Structure 1
Amino acid sequence: MCGICGFTGKLPDSKDVLTRMMDRIKHRGPDSAGQYITEKAAWGFRRLSIIDLDHGSQPMFNEDNSIVIVFNGEIYNYQTLREALIAKGHVFRNNSDTEVLVHGYEEYGTDLPKHCRGMFAFMIYDTKKDIAFGARDYFGVKPFYYSVIDGNLVFGSEIKSILEYPGYEKQVNTEALEEYLTFQYSVLPETFFKGIFKLAPAHSILFKDGKVTIERYWEPDFDIDENVDFDTLVDKIDAQMNESVQAHMISDVEVGSLLSSGIDSSYIATVSKADKTFTVGFDYDKFNEISYAKDLSEKIGTKNFSKLISEEEYWSVLPEIQYYMDEPLADASCVALYFVDKTAAEHVKVVLSGEGADEFFGGYNIYHEPISLQGYQKLPAGLRRLIGRLAETLLPEGVRGRSFLMRGALPVEKRFIGNAKRFSVKERKRILKNATPAKAPWKLTRPYYDKVRHLDDTTKMQYIDMNFWLIGDILLKGDKMSMRHSLECRVPFLDKEVYALAKTIPTKYKLAGGTTKYALRKAAERHIPEATAMKKKLGFPVPITLWLREDKYYNQVREAFTGPSAQLFFNTGELVKMLDAHKKGKLDNSKKIWVVYMFLMWYDVYFVREEVSYE
């Protein structure tokens, strides 16, 4: 696990620029650093040593130094690939997975990513062809950002590296802001920084003669087997998860496991037989999972390390979190990840985590919605639309049943954009001071719905979450918070072999008897207590709703909502009205408030303060 950055072309001070870019991501790789600088390219690398501790330094080359690579991630099938490449005549200098990519590129060219199993973001410079070629892993576990500045390609594991490149002028992308108000994360290919882009998962990038070419090398699909025997399916899930966990344990350093009270992390912690597990909770009974984690740890014979987060600690790290996130993210559980990763990093360099299980195996509670709406949706579509409009107009916000009538009036393609939906188009237009060219959210998801139009609504929702929520929220915070603490976080559920099985599971085995992830739970039940395997999904509960009704935090947020930064982007009177309604208990506006507040905090860190560093 490392940090990569670099640029094509040559600057008068290439070494100094590259060094500054690398210094901004030192947290991703504090163990060592390396540079490759020529007239044509400057590649930088920060290393967190995990595999082949003595010989895995980068940049790394082929035999004649004509191919150079910087690579962030882990290739879990590198040993198999290495054997195949040796059989084809390739000569290796070390035992790292990085060198497998070098020779893999020599052998397979731009088809290299199709042969890899793992989490990765890499950039190769081919001196003979004078091209730069890179790729991002199948599901987007590792980040990859890029920009073209003065005709040169500039790239990095984090945006903050690119900000160090001369010629780039920081400017807020207001279109990204408007979409963020609905999704709670940055959803567009262009980031919150104008001119800086995200490479999408399962995509490659080729830079030649000043032009960028982006191609998709793999795409998730579904091949549902309605006739599969349930017990056989559970056998396959358990066998595949055991295999994936063991593949993700490959390391020359100790591997621990994050652990909450839920099935996903519990399953992985148990199967991995990790010696150490890590848990956090808040100093509120209903927001504290530590006792669950400690009980399970005792049962499976691992040592649990826990951290109780105070509200003062929570609020104090928010600016730092927005700095490391690069773009604003309004997921309140980021802080929990920050502290659990910090706790883990005090003991290990690598942890396993349970991200991806909900998207692959049908774990979110909202996936039941198509079933609960079946009766209502038997009414004619026109009648339902009328009922929905009447409910929106006549029933006050927060009234029980209002959302059901409004959502049920719409097809899934119009009502579901992912696990978070904060401001409606009407609401975001009302609070924003200036118009933007932002699209209605369903127009962003529509091309993805078009690809799965033949599937049932629950599977469609899974597909949307895989392409939006998982990438923009879950994996973003997972990478940025772990790497903030120089900790490698591996995700055994997000494995292409696991997905090859998950894509065949029929909805009747994902949702059964009011239970989500039913088949996965039955597989996990072979290893963990039934009560844990069948525990209802909670997410990571954070007492934001309560805090925002306390004078201390209400006043803190109100100051931001009426300050000069807020006045640049928002109609501040509307923000205060929303905040006051929450304070008085009229509505629970906590999630909407948090979306705006996190943007303002991010803006303060990157555009108001002159110098920010948490290294």
Structure 2
Amino acid sequence: MCGIIAFCDRALENKEEVLTNMMNAIKHRGPNSSGQYIDDDVALGFRRLSIIDLRGGSQPIFNEDRQKAIIFNGEIYNFKPLRKELVSAGHTFTTKTDTEVLLHGFEEWGMEGLLKRIRGMFAFLIWDNSERKLYGARDFFGIKPMYYYHDGDRFLVGSEIKSFLYHPYFKKELNKKALKPYLTFQYSALEETFFKNVFSIPGGHYFTFKDGELEVKQYWDLDFKDAGESFESTVKEIEEVINDSVEAHKISDVPVGSLLSSGIDSSYITSLSEPEHTFSVGFDDKSYNEAIQAKELAQLLGLDNESEVVTSEEAFDNFPLIQYYLDEPDANPSCVPLYFLTKLASKYVTVILSGEGADELFAGYVDYGYHSHSRVIKTIGAQLRKLKPQTRYHLANKLRKMPNFHGRLHLYESTARAEDFFIGEAKIFGENEAASYLTEPFKISESVEEIVSKSYDRVANYTDEVKKMQYLDLHLFMAKDILLKADKMSMANSMELRVPFLDKEVAKVASKIPTKYLLTPKNSKYALRVAAEKHLPEEWVQREKLGFPVPVKAWLENDNFYTRIRNLFEQDFVKEFFDVPKILDLIDRVHNGDAEDRRKVWTIYTFLVWYKVYFIDETIPTYVKGESAK
């Protein structure tokens, strides 16, 4: 696991000095060693966190005639059989790394041929000296980040945006169009990031850059299609493929641990991997402490569990540092416990397994149409999903106009078109509401409909509304929020976080599971839960999803934290973005218990903290040690 950075810039003379500064900005991604390659056209920089081939894995790595060089962030889980194939084809290896397999695989099969064969999480760059051409690719789901900045013949690309700030010709400028959709989605939802002219290579895409021309191509996407298999065979396939994926994800020359919460996803991964160490955190508010239940499960499984309690003061003091590591504002409160969880784990191991991706692949979210606890309502909803599309949509239109009754929302979402109500798992401000809080320059942006339609258009032929929602979340919420915070928070603590559910072999199985096996009157993610029954106690198998519970409500009701946030809202720079009296009224009402809008306050607060770090203070926040207790 590493950090990578490269730039193509023929005009820049002091390339080595600039590259060194850019590499130092992401030293947390690879504190063990560094490497670089520089010529007239390109500079490649690498920071290494040693995982495989601890002695011989330094990068860049070159091919036999040194005409091609690679820098790589990630892990290729099937590199050993591919290496054998490449050796048989005549390639000579100088290391035991998966990195070198990528390089020789690129020589042998080309970019698309290589990408079809590999299994893993990755972001890599290959410089072809003979062609004077830079190639790059990002993994299937976008587990590992890759950003770029393109200005004429100048091209910057790398793992984190913060490294771009150290290139003398990078123009740091806020992308004004990013703020309004962020208030709705809670994350950076546009193709262009919060930094103007900085974009992310999407998951499942690769690029080429030569003579100032950038070309980005898609090489993979997930297509949900019901295979019509029996429930029993489906459960068997799930169990087999997840077990295989966990085994593949354990490959390492350093110890591997596992994150453990009270939910089924991390619990299932932990039960299969049987690590020496598991890790959990909770908050000093006992209502938000999953560590207690996680430790109980670890004891039942016979595993060690290391846990800590994070104080509210410690969380607040380090929130600017968390937003610094994220590169862009992310108002998902779970980034806070995840940062402290990976910090705890870093004391014991270098690699951790986690449960991200299960909710998207196996339909675990409430908003997929699972809003009622009533068995009767859920049974009716399941039957309504079987109706022909036009009949369902007609019924949904009637339900939408009816006076509210228990189960109406569940039944509506069981019958309506996904496009009519679903924009993804996060929805903080309504679109018009968001605009009402903003000053005029920040009201202009892509509409919410335009943002989500890019995914919905690709699945316009689907008749299964849940599959549409899964597809949307895979490409928006999971890619731009869940996976980015998992990568950034773990790498902030020099940890490699692996996600066995997000394996392309697991995805093949998940994509063909009928929705009726996933959302049933008994539970969501039902087929996955049945597969987990052999490995987990019944109580854990049937648990409802909690996510990472964070005491935002308690914080905003606390006079101390309320005052700290309100003071930030009153600072002069805030009036550039927001109607200040309106956001002050919002936080006052929340503090006084008059409004259930705490996530709206948190979303505004997060942006302002991030903006202050990157555009006002312009210094790296330091870690503030608190008094946490086991």
TM-score, normalised on structure 2?
Answer: 0.92
Whole-Å separation in 1 of the counterparts to 2:506 and 2:489: 25
Q: Partner of 1:396 in structure 2? A: none
The CA deviation at 1:6 is 1.4
Deviates more, 1:312-321 or 1:433-442: 433-442
SS at match of 1:475: helix
SS at match of 2:523: coil
Measured against aligned partners, the alpha-carbon deviations of 1:178-201 in whole angstroms (never above 9, x if no partner) come to 111110000111110001111100
Whole-Å separation in 1 of the counterparts to 2:397 and 2:135: 51
Aligned residues of 1:387 and 1:409 also touching (Cα < 8 A) = no
The CA deviation at 1:234 is 1.1
Aligned residues of 2:396 and 2:412 also touching (Cα < 8 A) = no
Q: Partner of 1:4 in structure 2? A: 4
Relative distance call for 1:403 and 1:527 in structure 2 (3 A) is closer
Measured against aligned partners, the alpha-carbon deviations of 1:17-65 in whole angstroms (never above 9, x if no partner) come to 0000000000000000001111111100000000011110001100111
Q: Partner of 2:100 in structure 1? A: 99
Matches within 5 A, 1:423-434: 423-434=429-440
Whole-Å separation in 1 of the counterparts to 2:608 and 2:368: 32
Q: Which amino acid aligns with 1:176?
A: A
The CA deviation at 1:414 is 2.9
Relative distance call for 1:585 and 1:514 in structure 2 (3 A) is farther
Matches within 5 A, 1:154-233: 154-226=156-228, 228-233=229-234
Equivalent residue in structure 1 for 2:569, among 561, 571, 575: 561
Whole-Å separation in 1 of the counterparts to 2:517 and 2:77: 29
Measured against aligned partners, the alpha-carbon deviations of 1:361-414 in whole angstroms (never above 9, x if no partner) come to 1111222249687599676676666669xx9xxxxxxx9999889989974203
Q: Partner of 2:375 in structure 1? A: none
The CA deviation at 1:437 is 3.3
The CA deviation at 1:325 is 0.2
Whole-Å separation in 2 of the counterparts to 1:472 and 1:495: 18
Q: Partner of 1:536 in structure 2? A: 544
Whole-Å separation in 2 of the counterparts to 1:407 and 1:175: 31
Whole-Å separation in 1 of the counterparts to 2:321 and 2:189: 22
SS at match of 1:548: helix
Equivalent residue in structure 2 for 1:444, among 448, 451, 454: 451
Q: Partner of 1:501 in structure 2? A: 509
Measured against aligned partners, the alpha-carbon deviations of 1:284-329 in whole angstroms (never above 9, x if no partner) come to 2221111211111112221100011111111111000000000000
Q: Partner of 2:591 in structure 1? A: 583
Whole-Å separation in 1 of the counterparts to 2:584 and 2:223: 45
The runs of 5 or more residues in structure 1 that have no matched partner are 392-398
Q: Which amino acid aligns with 1:448?
A: S
Deviates more, 1:146-155 or 1:194-203: 146-155
Equivalent residue in structure 2 for 1:550, among 544, 553, 558: 558
Relative distance call for 1:462 and 1:408 in structure 2 (3 A) is closer
Whole-Å separation in 2 of the counterparts to 1:466 and 1:552: 38
Q: Which amino acid aligns with 1:7?
A: F
Measured against aligned partners, the alpha-carbon deviations of 1:261-291 in whole angstroms (never above 9, x if no partner) come to 1111111111111110000011222211112
Aligned residues of 1:287 and 1:542 also touching (Cα < 8 A) = yes
Deviates more, 1:75-84 or 1:20-29: 75-84
SS at match of 1:21: helix
Whole-Å separation in 2 of the counterparts to 1:584 and 1:379: 42
Equivalent residue in structure 1 for 2:471, among 454, 460, 463: 463
Whole-Å separation in 1 of the counterparts to 2:507 and 2:407: 36
Q: Partner of 1:118 in structure 2? A: 120
The CA deviation at 1:507 is 0.7
Q: Partner of 2:269 in structure 1? A: 268
Q: Partner of 1:242 in structure 2? A: 243
Deviates more, 1:478-487 or 1:282-291: 282-291
Aligned residues of 1:179 and 1:441 also touching (Cα < 8 A) = yes
Q: Partner of 1:136 in structure 2? A: 138
Relative distance call for 1:405 and 1:358 in structure 2 (3 A) is closer
Relative distance call for 1:471 and 1:49 in structure 2 (3 A) is same
Aligned residues of 1:171 and 1:194 also touching (Cα < 8 A) = yes
Whole-Å separation in 2 of the counterparts to 1:406 and 1:545: 29
Whole-Å separation in 1 of the counterparts to 2:294 and 2:85: 42
Q: Partner of 2:367 in structure 1? A: 366
Q: Partner of 1:251 in structure 2? A: 252
Q: Partner of 1:301 in structure 2? A: 302
Runs of 4+ in 1 over 6 A off after TM superposition: 370-373, 375-378, 399-410
Whole-Å separation in 1 of the counterparts to 2:264 and 2:407: 31
Q: Partner of 1:489 in structure 2? A: 497
Measured against aligned partners, the alpha-carbon deviations of 1:65-91 in whole angstroms (never above 9, x if no partner) come to 100011000001111111111121111
Q: Partner of 2:329 in structure 1? A: 328
Whole-Å separation in 2 of the counterparts to 1:130 and 1:550: 59
Q: Which amino acid aligns with 2:363?
A: G
Q: Partner of 1:282 in structure 2? A: 283
Percent sequence identity over aligned pairs:
47
Aligned residues of 2:370 and 2:410 also touching (Cα < 8 A) = no
Matches within 5 A, 1:304-453: 304-369=305-370, 411-435=417-441, 436-453=443-460
Equivalent residue in structure 2 for 1:602, among 601, 610, 621: 610
Whole-Å separation in 2 of the counterparts to 1:17 and 1:33: 14
Whole-Å separation in 2 of the counterparts to 1:573 and 1:347: 48
Relative distance call for 1:76 and 1:444 in structure 2 (3 A) is same
Whole-Å separation in 1 of the counterparts to 2:513 and 2:237: 11
Whole-Å separation in 2 of the counterparts to 1:478 and 1:139: 13
Aligned residues of 1:384 and 1:408 also touching (Cα < 8 A) = no
Whole-Å separation in 1 of the counterparts to 2:275 and 2:333: 28
Aligned residues of 1:387 and 1:405 also touching (Cα < 8 A) = no
The CA deviation at 1:452 is 2.1
The CA deviation at 1:415 is 1.4
Q: RMSD value over aligned CA atoms? A: 2.2
Aligned length: 605
Q: Partner of 1:395 in structure 2? A: none
Measured against aligned partners, the alpha-carbon deviations of 1:139-176 in whole angstroms (never above 9, x if no partner) come to 01000011113522111100001111111121111111
Q: Which amino acid aligns with 1:472?
A: K
SS at match of 2:149: strand
TM-score, normalised on structure 1?
Answer: 0.94
Q: Partner of 1:76 in structure 2? A: 77
Aligned residues of 1:377 and 1:384 also touching (Cα < 8 A) = no
Q: Which amino acid aligns with 1:343?
A: L
Aligned residues of 1:144 and 1:155 also touching (Cα < 8 A) = yes
The CA deviation at 1:116 is 1.4
1:521 aligns with 2:523: no
SS at match of 1:132: strand
Relative distance call for 1:455 and 1:551 in structure 2 (3 A) is same
The CA deviation at 1:582 is 1.2
The CA deviation at 1:7 is 0.6
